[in-house]
Amino acid sequence: MSDEETRGPVVTPVRVVIALCLLAPFVAMLWVGSYAKVDPAFIGIPFFYWYQMLWVLVSTVLTMLAYKLWQRDQRSRHGGAGR
């Protein structure tokens, strides 16, 4: 076993950003009081609905960003081996 495998998890700034990217959609959707209203409407759609649909797109982008950051972090930790 290498020294890296015997140590516990390492918290780096990149991993904190990854965690925030993955946690943000959950916090936004669980905090119902922030979007449980009708106004402002967008093209006739009440705020309650279009806010949630917007988070579907935002969640996709944040998850993709977290994945790319994780890949980059793993490559840098393992000496650039693999893709």
Question: Which band of pLDDT confidence, cut at 50, 70 and 90, is reported for residue 63?
Answer: very high
pLDDT above 70 for 2 = no
Residue 8 lies in a domain: no
Domain membership of residue 17 (yes or no) is no
Query: Does 40 fall in a domain?
Result: yes
Residue 10 lies in a domain: no
How much is the CA Rg of the chain, to the nearest whole Å? 18
The pTM score is: 0.77
Q: Is residue 1 part of a domain?
A: no
| 75 and 81 Cβ atoms separated by less than 8 Å | yes
Could you tell me the residue range of the domain that residue 30 belongs to? 26-76
How many separate domains does the chain show? 1
3-state secondary structure of 39: coil
Q: Which pLDDT band holds residue 67 (cuts at 50, 70, 90)?
A: very high
